[in-house]
Amino acid sequence: MSKNAIFIKEHEVYSYFKEAGINVPRHLLVHDHLEDTKGEFFKNQEEVVIKGIASDLWHKSDEGALFFEKFDQSIVNNIIKRAGENLRKKYPDISFLVCEKIKMAQAKGMPTEAFLSFKKDNLLGMIINFGIGGLYAELWSENITDKIKQWSLNLTNPLEAFEDFKKHLIGKIWLGNIRQGKALTNEKIMQDFFKAVWDIGYRLEKEGVDLLEVNPVVLDELGDPVILDGVGQKMFNQSLPCFRAHDANKLLNPQKIAIAGVSEKANSFGRKILENLLTSKISSENLKIIKPATEEFLGVKCFSDITTLKKDPVDVLILALPAAKTVDTLTALIEQGAGADFVYIVAGGIGDGADKEKYADKIKNTLEVKRKTGAWTPGIIGPNSLGIILGPLQVNTLFISPQRLPITFHEKGNTALVSQSGAFLITRLSSEPNLPVKYGFAIGSQLDIKASQMLALISKDDDIKIFGFYFEGFEASDALAFSRVAKRLIEQGKHVVLYKGGRSLSGMKAASGHTGAMASDYELLHKTFSRCGIIWADTLGEFSGFLSLLGAYPDLKKAQSVITITNAGFEAVVCADYLGEVVNKHANKVLTSISNAQGFEKLLADSGLSGLVSISNPLDLTPMAGEEVFLRSVELLSLEKDVIILSIVPFTEKLNALDCSSTSEFVSLLARIRFASGKKLIVVVDAGELYEGYRQAFEKQKFPVFCSIEKPMIILKKLFV
């Protein structure tokens, strides 16, 4: 056990539960021997359990500190004396609990003992774990898939936990929801139990308890839960980081920017950043360069050091300096008490695997000392920050030339993309230029400003509806803070999409090496974030797909019905495999209106498709359908369907897919139907490079476009299911 921990003994565990209204065994705490007056507490020959308790005594049975006897005062005292002599050398503070032996409810051939623990997670705060307990817990757990239920105390409520518990094997056994099972308790008792568990959790969190384990929890013959064995530990001298409130407008709409580290060398990072800034809407008069012995560089005024920023502060200071100079410059800025609202640190070697000088610790200590006194400090983004994209101002601070990475600025975009990895940000910007990304941030190692703070700051722009995050690790307790901010935004109808890198041990190690990311429990984060409504992307393709679909249609999740129109049989089959009846549960018929159905029958007859096309979902128009059939089909179906997936295999001669003017007219007419109906149209063009122009024609009209039917199907299934 850590030197900063206080051991919680079993009788203290009992107190937590008893005060919350959960049953514990009758028990007596005995130090040396059981006094005569205490003998009245138990009936003669009553079955009791005698337990040794001491600091760091986690497993009583392994240490010879657990005894089962029929109560007799002299026998109990002899056991206490003999066991005390054996245990006192290793456990100087040994004492004993004499407890009644609980008569447990049993289910023949099935486990009935449960495990319950409260554990402070470094990322998510207090986590409540529940699973199979008792001596054979591991054996039983090997044979079930749903081994343990995990709930975040602050992001889950007792009723949600109870509903989850009902799906677990222990829940099914206790409530009699297994074949030929007899209920050992009832739902009301268990709902009250979980309410009490949450009350205990809040108390433990408030008191700084790091861990409390109970194994087992059993049911007595009346069906009431009883706590049998438990231990824990409480940490002390825990300090929390100090944070400063920041002005989001200075981050999203900076009017003055300074940069340090500009060199005459053509390919230096600082010069690349400056050259990109000079193409923005920020005038050169509002740019400053910190460059000693230079009056002007590329038309921008230079200053010898950062002291000038104290009198004339900027919104953003970019430090494109080596690690050591970065630390010195940042320290000087903090000490002078003014100069920039936000500082971007470009350099690596601070807080990552290459930080041998412990630069990150020096910066953190400086910030902590100042913030504890209420002194001014900037908000720091990075280190290892590749840069930012601000659409409205056409600001690009990436140290990559526009020849290698042309940026499409979406001044009225509804999406923000935040990445811990700079490479992830730029590859998305390059490969997905049509994503309506208004803001893009590569925030690196999160030395100061964390993921949750970035989410909160960007959310100040109410036009942002989709928040895309790529993260390899969350800093201490920030996953909980991130979840809370995300949950608030999701309740407002916005979307938070996350791809979590560093899932495997090797991935965690790699992430730690280049961004200093903290390893995390992937499954726990997945469950907790998903419960909050955060969209969890399992693949990079899914991540881009979610941003594409939701960027085009932010209210997509409100849709009640989906239909696919295609001209290829296999696409129809694949679509049916993915969606089944789930998405279409509110619309069993393709067209419910008689007049609409008759109109569709006429369309098929006029097109020579009667007898070839069955009016079903998915709707396979066959390769015999041309543009006019597709247009009329979309028009008719948009009268009743919310989402229409138009999946085109363009090889048929019936489609003018290689004729630019015909394609442009076809796509424009589809866009008009979408605008007039207000419905959501998703396009799939399943073909090779020859048809890239065909695909791009749809993208120009801001349709979300995919290259295979499978991709939107996976995304829609996740959104709706």
**Which among 581, 539, 549 has a CA at the least distance from the CA of 712?**
549
End-to-end CA distance of the chain: 44
pLDDT for 505: 53
| Type and span of the H or E element at 424 | helix 422-431
> Is residue 299 a part of any domain in this protein?
yes
> How far is 152 from 142, CA to CA, in rounded Å?
24
φ/ψ of 84, rounded to 5, equals: -60, -40
Distance CA 443, CA 451 (A): 9
249: Cβ contacts below 8 Å, ≥ 6 apart:
460
Nearest CA to 215 among 335, 429, 3, 61?
Answer: 61
Looking at the structure, tell me whether residues 303 and 431 fall in a common domain.
yes
Domain with 65 in it: what CATH number?
A: 3.30.1490
Helix axes 710-720, 540-552, angle to 10 degrees: 70
5 lies in some domain: no
pLDDT band at 3 (very low <50, low <70, confident <90, very high): low
269 part of a folded domain: yes
Q: Are residues 269 and 221 in the same domain?
A: no
Same domain for 483 and 579, yes or no, is: no
- In this prediction, residue 235 carries a pLDDT of 77
Mean pLDDT of 650-672: 94
pLDDT (mean) for 153-181: 94
Q: Is 707 found in the same domain as 595?
A: yes
Which of 544, 566, 585 is closest to 704 using CA atoms? Answer: 544
Q: What percentage of the chain carries pLDDT values higher than 70?
A: 93
**516 and 659 inside one domain:** no
pLDDT (0 to 100) of residue 587: 46
Q: Smallest Cα–Cα separation from 132: which of 59, 215, 192, 58?
A: 215
In whole angstroms, what is the distance from residue 385 CA to residue 330 CA?
15
Domain end position, chosen among 178, 210, 235: 235
The answer to whether position 17 is within a domain reads no
CATH of the domain at 385: 3.40.50.261
Q: Which residue has the tokens 């974030």?
A: 529
Same domain, 204 and 172: yes
Are 264 and 222 contained in the same domain? no
Number of domains in the chain: 4
Asked whether residue 393 is assigned to any structural domain, the reply reads yes
- By the 10 Å C-beta count (0-12 exposed, 13-18 middle, 19+ buried), 453 is classed as buried
Q: Exposed, middle or buried by CB within 10 Å (0-12, 13-18, 19+), for 201?
A: buried
484-521 pLDDT, tens per residue?
A: 999 999 999 999 999 998 765 554 455 444 344 433 47
696 inside domain: yes
Q: Does residue 397 share a domain with residue 360?
A: yes
- Does 240 map to a domain? no
Q: What's the pLDDT at 516?
A: 40
Question: From CA 288, how far away is CA 285, in angstroms rounded?
Answer: 8
Domain that holds residue 212: 114-235
Residue-level pLDDT at 561: 86
258 vs 266, residue with greater confidence: 258
Per-residue pLDDT at 36: 66
CB count in 10 Å sphere of residue 238:
10
Give CA–CA dist 667/484, Å, rounded.
42
User: What mean pLDDT comes out for the span 251-257?
Assistant: 97
Residue 530 lies in a domain: yes
3-state DSSP call for residue 120?
strand
Question: Of 235, 268, 291, which one is at a domain's C-terminal end?
Answer: 235
Mean pLDDT within 646-659: 93
Tell me: do 536 and 591 sit in the same domain.
no
pLDDT the model gives residue 517: 40
Cα torsion at 605, 610, 616, 619 (round to 10°)? -80
- Of 55, 75, 100, the one marking the end of a domain is 100
Phi, psi for 243 (deg, rounded to 5): -120, 160
CA distance 536 to 497: 6
Band of residue 421 on the pLDDT scale cut at 50, 70, 90: very high
Please check whether residues 312 and 390 belong to one and the same domain: yes
Average pLDDT over residues 654-664: 92
Residues 713 and 613 in one domain: yes
Residue 276's H or E segment, with its range, is helix 269-277
* Residue 551 confidence (pLDDT) above 90: yes
Which pLDDT belongs to residue 38? 61
**Interval 47-55 mean pLDDT:** 94
Same domain, 333 and 218: no
Residue 644 predicted with pLDDT over 90: yes
Average pLDDT over residues 525-531: 90
Which CATH number goes with the domain that contains 182? 3.30.470.20
Averaged confidence pLDDT in the chain: 90
